[in-house]
């Protein structure tokens, strides 16, 4: 059996190509998923560019949603017809100190979809059944694809920020992750939200999604405006792909504030030691979410509290989507529709 897949090209300079591949037979504990939708995350762009190591030929994608069409021996939790996710947390070892203490995303022998394992940006994907999270009834599958990374990552990030109802949370970056982060922070955690980006269109959208204050960091000093208007945010979550945003986030919080780092620009941030020590600032990284976090994030989507904005595109558009993301042109998420029936000949 064959599948079509979006893979990192041989040059590993950020471009992708659509290829045909064989589908291998299933092994013990695995399931075959016929993918319906897969979103394009900025992390796919980092992988395609070799930002964390070169992976030529890797099938990308960790915002996959599809239907189980085959199960191998040893699969207990899935049956044919179940709708499941293909997330960045593709498979942990299941027995280390991280896997056993609710921190499975930090497992040292983890496999990540679309990075160290072939991912969901393809018509088919073989998954480890134990790590496929079921999509609840009532959640649109294309919207579920966005929650599989962008949603769960920002849901977890806001959780890690410790923000409480009525407190101020600064969301740096209002792209694919950030706009969902605004929604989780506002509608699920009851925070007051400031959205910061360098693109007015994305800020207008963040405002529609519930942001109380929006700031264009290309035109104003975001940290200064936040300190003036709120007395300093209680927490900041940084999804922007820019060191400048990380530095601003440290300056925007009040004493005792926490900065949660999510964006992954391959560079270092500045940390003033007196600022960290004298003002008791915490800076902490947060990586996607556990299977339990994803189950929770899906449920808030199914209940209509968080509504991802998605635009469906055919698989042939993958190279163009990567280019649009690189240029910062995407509002919401571009989602590849693996069964695109748009009438065009592809
Ligand atoms: P995106 O391209 O959709 O959004 C990034 C946003 O950052 C854009 O709206 C852009 O305008 C904005 N931005 C750029 N410079 C800025 C600045 N100086 N100040 C404020 N905003 C600025 O990307 P995305 O899919 O939302 O991903 C964002 C980042 O998060 C990527 O680096 C991605 O790899 C990373 N990521 C991390 C995790 C994790 O688990 N930690 C999970 C998913 C994605
Ligand atoms: Zn992602
Ligand atoms: Zn482990």
Nearest atom in ligand 1 to the alpha carbon of residue 330 is 3
Q: Name every residue whose Cβ is closer than 8 Å to that of residue 188 and which is 6 or more positions away in sequence.
A: 155, 158, 300, 305, 306
Pairing of strands 83-87, 63-71: antiparallel
Q: Say yes or no: domain 2-134+309-337 is CATH 3.90.180.10.
A: yes
| pLDDT at residue 346, as a whole number | 47
309 lines ligand 1 (CB under 6 A): no
User: Angle between the 176-183 and 152-161 helix axes, to the nearest 10 degrees?
Assistant: 60
Per-residue pLDDT tens over the stretch 175-195: 999 999 999 999 999 999 999
For CA atoms 154, 156, 160, 165, the dihedral sign is: positive
Q: What is the mean predicted confidence (pLDDT) over 300-311? A: 98
In this prediction, residues 293-308 reach a mean pLDDT of 98
Q: In the chain, what are the domain boundaries?
A: 2-134+309-337, 152-285
pLDDT band at 82 (very low <50, low <70, confident <90, very high): very high
φ/ψ of residue 152, rounded to 5:
-65, -35
Distance 242 CA to ligand 1 centre (A): 8
Q: Which two tokens stand for residue 259?
A: 């900065």
User: In angstroms, rounded to a whole number, what is the distance separating the alpha carbons of residues 263 and 343?
Assistant: 37
The rounded Å distance from CA 86 to ligand 3 centre is: 18
CA distances from 199 to 184, 215, 279 (A): 21, 10, 31
Render pLDDT for 101-111 as a digit per residue (tens, 0 to 9). 999 999 999 99
Residue 266 confidence (pLDDT):
94
Contact 110, 87 (CB under 8 A): no
Percent share of the chain, pLDDT over 90: 97
Say what the pLDDT of residue 345 is.
47
Q: Is the dihedral of CA 35, 60, 180, 281 positive or negative?
A: positive
Task: Report residue 340's pLDDT band, with 50, 70 and 90 as the boundaries.
Answer: confident
Q: Is 31 in the pocket of ligand 1 (CB under 6 A)?
A: no
The third-level CATH classification (topology) of the domain covering 152-285 is Rossmann fold (3.40.50)
Helix, strand, or coil (residue 247)? helix
- 89-134 pLDDT per residue, tens: 999 999 999 999 999 999 999 999 999 999 999 999 999 999 999 9
Q: What is the DSSP string of 64-117?
A: EEEEEEEE-TT--S--TT-EEEEESEEE--SSSTTGGGT-GGG-TT-EEBTTTB
Whether pLDDT at 341 is above 90? no
How far apart are alpha carbons 226 and 251 in whole angstroms? 9
Give mean pLDDT, residues 285-307.
Answer: 98
How does the average pLDDT of the chain come out, rounded? 97
Query: Which residue in the block uniquely carries the two structure tokens 């191998």?
Result: 72
Closest-CA residue, ligand 1 atom 30, reads 263
User: Kind of pairing, strands 310-313 and 282-285?
Assistant: unpaired
Evaluate if residue 199 carries a pLDDT over 50.
yes
pLDDT reading at 159 higher than 50: yes
Per-residue pLDDT, averaged over 148-167, amounts to 98
Average pLDDT over residues 291-307: 98
pLDDT of 217 > 60? The answer is: yes
Contact 72, 27 (CB under 8 A): yes
Q: What percent of the chain has pLDDT over 70?
A: 98
- Residues in the 5 Å CB sphere of ion ligand 2: 41, 43, 149
The pLDDT score that the predictor gives to residue 342 is 61
Pocket test for ligand 1, best of 14, 38, 40, 42 (most atoms within 8 A of CB): 42
Cβ–ligand 1 distance for 306 under 6 Å, the answer no
Q: Is the pTM of this model over 0.75?
A: yes
Q: With 60 as the cut, is the pLDDT of residue 343 above it?
A: no
Confidence band of 336 (pLDDT split at 50, 70, 90): very high
Decide: 281 and 261 in contact? Cβ < 8 Å.
no
- Over residues 14-43, mean pLDDT: 98
């Amino acid at each position: 059996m064959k599948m079509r897949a979006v893979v990192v090209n041989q040059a590993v300079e950020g471009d992708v190509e659509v290829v045909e591949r064989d589908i291998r037979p299933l092994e013990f504990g695995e399931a075959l998923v016929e993918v319906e939708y897969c979103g394009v995350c900025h992390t796919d762009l980092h992988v395609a560019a070799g930002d964390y190591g070169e992976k030529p030929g890797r099938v990308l994608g960790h915002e996959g949603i599809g239907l189980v069409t085959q199960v191998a021996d040893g699969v207990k939790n899935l049956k044919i017809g179940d709708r499941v996710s293909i997330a960045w947390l593709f498979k942990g070892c299941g027995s280390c100190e991280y896997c056993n203490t609710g921190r499975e995303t930090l497992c040292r022998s983890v496999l990540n979809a679309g990075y160290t394992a072939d991912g969901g940006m393809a018509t088919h994907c073989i998954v480890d059944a134990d790590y496929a999270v079921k999509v609840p009834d009532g959640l649109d599958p294309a919207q579920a694809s966005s929650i599989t990374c962008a949603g769960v990552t920002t849901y977890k990030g806001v959780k890690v920020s410790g923000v409480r109802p009525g407190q101020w949370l600064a969301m740096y970056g209002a792209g694919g992750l950030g706009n969902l982060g605004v929604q989780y922070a506002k509608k699920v955690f009851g925070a007051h939200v400031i959205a910061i980006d360098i693109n007015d269109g994305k800020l207008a959208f963040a405002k529609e999604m519930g942001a109380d204050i929006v700031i264009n960091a290309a035109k104003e000093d975001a940290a200064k405006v936040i300190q003036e208007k709120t007395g300093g945010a209680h927490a900041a979550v940084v999804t922007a792909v820019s060191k400048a945003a990380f530095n601003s986030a440290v300056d925007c919080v009040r004493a005792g504030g926490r900065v949660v780092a999510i964006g992954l620009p391959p560079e270092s941030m500045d940390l003033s030691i007196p600022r960290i020590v004298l003002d008791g600032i915490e800076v902490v990284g947060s990586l996607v979410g556990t299977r339990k976090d994803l189950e929770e994030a899906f449920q808030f989507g199914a209940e209509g509290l968080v509504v991802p904005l998605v635009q469906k595109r055919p698989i042939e558009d993958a190279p163009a989507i990567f280019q649009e993301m690189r240029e910062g042109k995407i509002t919401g998420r571009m989602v590849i529709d693996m069964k695109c029936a748009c009438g065009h000949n592809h």
